[in-house]
Amino acid sequence: MRFGPYGGRYAPEILMEPLRDLADAYDAFRGDQQAQEELGSLLRRYAGRATPLYRCRNLGTETGSIICLKREDLLHGGAHKINNTLGQALLAKKSGRRRLIAETGAGQHGVATAMAGAVLGLEVEVFMGVVDMERQAPNVSRMELLGATVTPVRTGSKTLSDAVDEALRNWAATADDSHYLIGSCVGPDPFPRMVRDLQSVIGTELRAQSIAEEGRLPDAAVACVGGGSNAIGTFVPLLGDPVRLIGAEAGGRGLKPGDHGASLTCGSPGVLHGAYSSLLQDEEGRITPTHSISAGLDYPGVGPEHALLRDIGRAEYLPVTDAEAVAAFRLLSRKEGIIPALESAHAVAAALRLAEEMPEGSLITVTLSGRGDKDLQTITGGGA
């Protein structure tokens, strides 16, 4: 399945059968009412859904616009990632798998996978670059406490991309009893659509809450874009509505190659990790290094559906610099008593920009993808 020219299944032959099996298992899972009810119950009673749509009392009021926050930061684990990991872990269990494999960079996805594995009684192995293991030692401890095995990856740059390669290699050898639980709407089909569907609970709730509590749809919905899962989950249920959809990308230190992670604003088409999408690459197709103050947005690719939404003009993507994100992080903390994840702070910054530009009385929603406790060191300790 493709999104216009994007997406697809660019994988070595050895992974084609596991991917086909997974696509079939996912179709069955979607149609299995009992499984869907079980997922709904886990999301409500374990993860803490529905999350509130909070209308800011102070943020942006001087602009005459109204800013509402979709509070994914209040979920178990402190971010939207649990929506995806619970869904895929349940799918794995229903399709007879007993083990989950995951890759992780900053460790957030590894922790969310370890939680889902623990609650559903599945073994978990998380692949993580040794450089990241050092930088993110507390998340390594969390994963281990939750019962997961963290396997160090020592190849290449010893970071996220190498961990993905290692996880895929492991999956090729173990697909009969293992599910590869990918962390965003990236990778070969069916991953992008599966992760999108699992994260669409964000936009579905947001849409209903906006109508019920604000009496109307938003004029604009903003979300940050790393791999793009919280953004696509926000956007898709609003695609048929007259709502501007805005993705905030990592503008880093500026838009020179190597200084940012703005793969939709600055990228060109190519294949990475199994899908055709918009990538940060040089003229020879080599992936260029990326930078963002937030680990979750520091990725040279993006989910293929975003590349299509950009091309057809249905969604807009704005780069937000590190400095703007830090300013928004501080401002939201001060004005509303909510410390956002640095990733989410990019969306807050973009919303503040829109609030200035849009007509008075505009209603802008921001998907607050996670909480900022993990980022205090970066903000106050200079550990970026």
Chain residues binding ligand PLP by CB under 6 A are 79, 81, 108, 184, 224-231, 296, 341, 343-344, 369-370
End-to-end CA distance of the chain: 38
Question: What token pair was written down for 279?
Answer: 């990538």
What is the closest distance, in whole angstroms, from the C-beta atom of residue 78 to ligand PLP in the complex?
A: 8
- β-strand partners of 269: 278
Quick one: 18 or 301, whose CB is closer to ligand PLP? 301
Separation between Cα atoms, residue 9 and residue 356, nearest integer Å: 42
Separation between Cα atoms, residue 205 and residue 212, nearest integer Å: 10
What is the closest distance, in whole angstroms, from the C-beta atom of residue 13 to ligand PLP in the complex?
A: 28
Closest CB to ligand PLP: residue number: 370
What is the closest distance, in whole angstroms, from the C-beta atom of residue 368 to ligand PLP in the complex?
A: 8
Give the total residue count for the chain: 384
Quick one: 26 or 191, whose CB is closer to ligand PLP? 191
List, by residue number, the catalytic residues: 56, 80
Question: What token pair was written down for 48?
Answer: 């803490």
In angstroms, what CA-CA distances link 144 with 93, 106, 110, 115?
A: 21, 15, 10, 11
What is the closest distance, in whole angstroms, from the C-beta atom of residue 272 to ligand PLP in the complex?
A: 15
Quick one: 220 or 339, whose CB is closer to ligand PLP? 339
**Among 188, 216, 185, 138, residue whose Cα is nearest residue 22:** 188
What are the φ/ψ torsions at residue 89 (nearest 5 degrees)?
-65, -40
Quick one: 266 or 358, whose CB is closer to ligand PLP? 266
Separation between Cα atoms, residue 362 and residue 344, nearest integer Å: 21
Give the pairing of strands 2-3 and 6-7: antiparallel
What is the closest distance, in whole angstroms, from the C-beta atom of residue 369 to ligand PLP in the complex?
A: 3
| Alpha carbon of residue 283 to chain centroid | 28
Q: Is the peptide bond before 190 cis (omega within 30 degrees of 0)?
A: yes
| Pair 303, 293: CB distance under 8 Å | no
Q: What is the secondary structure of 58-94 as a DSSP string?
A: STTGGGT-EEEEEEGGGSTTSBTHHHHHHHHHHHHHH
Q: Is the peptide bond before 50 cis (omega within 30 degrees of 0)?
A: yes
Question: What token pair was written down for 329?
Answer: 């992080």
What is the closest distance, in whole angstroms, from the C-beta atom of residue 319 to ligand PLP in the complex?
A: 14
